[in-house]
Amino acid sequence: MIARPFGERALFLRLGRHPSPALTARLAALAEELASASIPGLVEVVPGHTTLLLHFRPEETDHETLARRVREVAVSREGGRPGPGPVRGPTCHLLPVVYGGEGGPDLEKVAGESGLRPEEVVRQHSSPLYSVSCFGFAPGFAYLGELPPPLRLPRRGQARDRVPRGAVGIAGPHTGVYPGGTPGGWHLIGWTPAEVYSPGEEERALFRVGDEVRFVPVPEWKGGEVKSDHRQGGAAGESPAGEGVPFLRILHPGVLASFQDGGREGYRAEGVAPLGPADVFSFHALCRLLGNSPRDAAVEVLLFGFSAEVLSPGLIAVTGADLGATLNGRELPLWQVVEVKPGDRITFSSPRRGMRAYLGVAGGFSAPRVLGSASYDPLLGMIPLRPGEVLLKKEAPLSPPPRPGQRWPPELEPAIYREITVRVTLGPEAGSFPREALGLLFSSSFRVSPRSDRRGLRLEGPRLPGPKGDRPSEGVVSGTLQVTPSGEALLLLEGSQTTGGYPVLAVAIEPDLCLLAQARPGEAEVRFRYVSLEEARASSLEFRSRLRFATLEPVPSPPATSR
């Protein structure tokens, strides 16, 4: 077992080089035992095809301590001693599949490219007993392998914008069932009525790592209609918004306004990203200003066009980017508690610096939740805020209550620049890259591509040479700098997938992710600077301490009057 740091907040474990059912079973057993061992600071264990990625809190543990504890658990297990909890054996799933037709539009093309007749493609695809090696890309999307060699085709040249629920696809050595409503670049050869992921159920995922799957061809499906994956007023597994006082009516949501809270932890192994605010610092500072918990929802506003009418009195604050926020046409102070009354209008109309602002109310917004979080995730069927929507304000008592005029210390406000220097540590297997890759990374400037989104930044600049050959998917963290086969650099943000197959050259440190979240596509320039793991850890701890213990500035006293 090889243990290496993956940035300052994760530990990378490699247990083998080539995927196999035996290795998958070993990974699944160790992941379950680690997850049930109550290791201080350990947040989640995410299996890859040949690896485990352990996410941890740096204020509670470190790489060496965690690696030592992992080895103790592994030695105990391999020595035959009972682990801290039961390990469930694999389950075999038989899934009916209607091949070809509307549900499998790529079957004929796959047959042509593989040199097989369509019926032979079906026979070869449905013959193996596939092993579930890991989840990733989307909630509940299980990588099943391995395909027979004739069916191992590269991904489609152009990904589909939306793949329907139950689509059965193939790409490379893997096959899988799409959980619904996601983009996808795999070849679609059939459709199954199986519900592979249901966020509202106690057993959300049909599969678990180590399970076995066999596809059974059927001429048609007569078992009734499958639930639609379109949200009609609510996502699957969504809890209602709850009680509260009508506080804001959305007049216009702008480019994309959505609810965000501290995110959803504990589901990465199922392919569910934690998400939460893209700019973690600005969101948590907002919570401090308003006396809210990170579990309380705020509104993330993107660039311009957002406007809302206040329906009841309250205290608000806006942090993050300067998007030209106004209250009744007059400039709204940022990073400061402001009192509002019914009939007031809040508008974001002229972005000056950055691209994401956070609007919160004392007590927090009462927002619907999926898997315990209100953070917007379209892959879970959630939708952004809509015109005419009324946002409720919770009325929980706050101690101490915020006061109008109270503000965040100006010296602790993050600077937002068009030119950003990002500190990085090396990826766990950066040594597999050609030597010139790091030289180019640290000597070049990269522009944030307009093709960037909340999941990650595409960086335009020199092409970075990477390792040759395909690589199995492995767990990733926000800040991961991947290199595509064409040499393009991808930098993953808070909304990224939980696993990825591109090789990892470097990992951005936690404090600098907030700067990247404010980098405007098409404008911002990014440079990279190497720091040691010790420097990265110290910066992360200082960043977290600053958010937790910063002293808010008192409300200015009114000027004295003379008698």
pLDDT digits over 453-466, tens only?
888 999 999 999 99
Residue boundaries of the structural domains of the chain? 2-78, 92-217, 242-412, 419-549
Rounded CA Rg of the chain = 25
Distance (Å, rounded) from C-alpha 438 to C-alpha 481?
12
Confidence of residue 183 (pLDDT cuts 50, 70, 90): confident
**Nearest in space to 493 (alpha carbons), one of 457, 449, 459, 530:** 457
Average pLDDT over residues 317-321: 97
pLDDT digits over 513-528, tens only?
999 999 999 999 999 9
Strands 365-366 and 167-171, by their bridges, are unpaired
Neighbours of 29 (CB within 10 A): 19
Average pLDDT over residues 380-388: 92
pLDDT digits over 343-373, tens only?
999 999 988 999 999 999 999 999 999 999 9
> Considering the entire predicted model, what is its pTM?
0.88
pLDDT at 229 over 50: no
Distance (Å, rounded) from C-alpha 58 to C-alpha 506?
18
Edge-to-edge strand list for the sheet holding 10-14: 2-5, 10-14, 51-56, 42-47
Percent of the chain with pLDDT strictly greater than 90: 69
Q: Do 367 and 297 form a contact (C-beta atoms < 8 A)?
A: yes
pLDDT of residue 241: 65
Confidence of residue 80 (pLDDT cuts 50, 70, 90): low
What is the pLDDT of the chain when averaged over all its residues?
A: 89
The CATH architecture that domain 2-78 belongs to is 2-Layer Sandwich (3.30)
The CATH architecture that domain 92-217 belongs to is Beta Barrel (2.40)
Confidence of residue 562 (pLDDT cuts 50, 70, 90): very low
The CATH architecture that domain 419-549 belongs to is Beta Barrel (2.40)
Higher pLDDT pick, 523 / 231: 523
pLDDT digits over 109-136, tens only?
999 999 999 999 999 999 999 999 999 8
Domains 92-217 and 419-549 fall in the same CATH topology: yes
Residue 428 DSSP code:
T
pLDDT at 234 over 90: no
Q: What is the dihedral of CA 367, 276, 136, 516, to 10 degrees?
A: 150
pLDDT digits over 478-509, tens only?
999 999 888 999 999 988 889 988 899 999 99
Percent of the chain with pLDDT strictly greater than 70: 92
pLDDT at 309 over 90: yes
Q: Do 499 and 134 form a contact (C-beta atoms < 8 A)?
A: yes
Average pLDDT over residues 51-73: 95
**Nearest in space to 19 (alpha carbons), one of 273, 209, 186, 154:** 209
